[in-house]
Amino acid sequence: EVQLVQSGAEVRNPGESLRISCEVSGSNFGSHFIAWVRQVPGKGLESLGLFYPGDFDAKYNPSFRLHVTFSADRSTNTAFLQWTSLQASDTAIYYCARQAHDGHHLDFWGQGTLVTVSP
């Protein structure tokens, strides 16, 4: 059974850094893109981009390219989403999801990580 398990909720001050994680099991970690999607509480879904653990290729939504970084540790089947300087507008739930081989749909999702940025 494919599972994506994300790290717990985080609270940070503006300007601080943060890395959240997404551990994948039941799937060949190196052969699927991992998508990152955010949801501001009470709002809709927005794609941040994709990361391919097989060759560490990161593809960013241009709106987020300069603000977030994707990475992974293949030894632990874990993908990461990182900020070096958080802003209040980053407050949201962040989901990781596996992109299917046979299309661009996201077939398995993590449970989400709530990130709160507040002074």
Partner 1 sequence: QSLLTQPPSASGTPGQSVTISCSGANSNIGRNSVNWYRQLPGTAPNLLIYSDNRRPSGVPDRFSGSKSGTSASLAISALQSEDEADYYCAVWSDALNGQIFGGGTKLTVL
Structural contact between residues 1 and 108, judged by C-beta atoms closer than 8 angstroms: no
Q: Does 48 bind partner 1 (CB under 8 A)?
A: yes
- The nearer residue to partner 1, 13 or 43, going by C-beta atoms, is 43
Q: Which residues pair with 58 in a beta bridge?
A: 51
Q: Does 44 bind partner 1 (CB under 8 A)?
A: yes
Distance CA 117, CA 110 (A): 21
- The nearer residue to partner 1, 66 or 119, going by C-beta atoms, is 66
- Residue 43 has, within 13 A of its CA and on its CB side, a CA count of 11
Of the candidates 32, 30, 31, 48, the one whose C-alpha atom is nearest the C-alpha of residue 40 is 48
Distance CA 82, CA 91 (A): 14
Q: Does 3 bind partner 1 (CB under 8 A)?
A: no
State the nearest-atom distance from the C-beta of 65 to partner 1, in Å: 9
- Region class of 105: left (phi > 0), else alpha (psi between -120 and 50), else beta: beta
Q: Does 37 bind partner 1 (CB under 8 A)?
A: yes
Q: Does 119 bind partner 1 (CB under 8 A)?
A: no
- The nearer residue to partner 1, 10 or 107, going by C-beta atoms, is 107
Stretch that binds partner 1, among 8-16, 24-32, 39-47, 84-92 (CB under 8 A): 39-47
State the nearest-atom distance from the C-beta of 76 to partner 1, in Å: 21
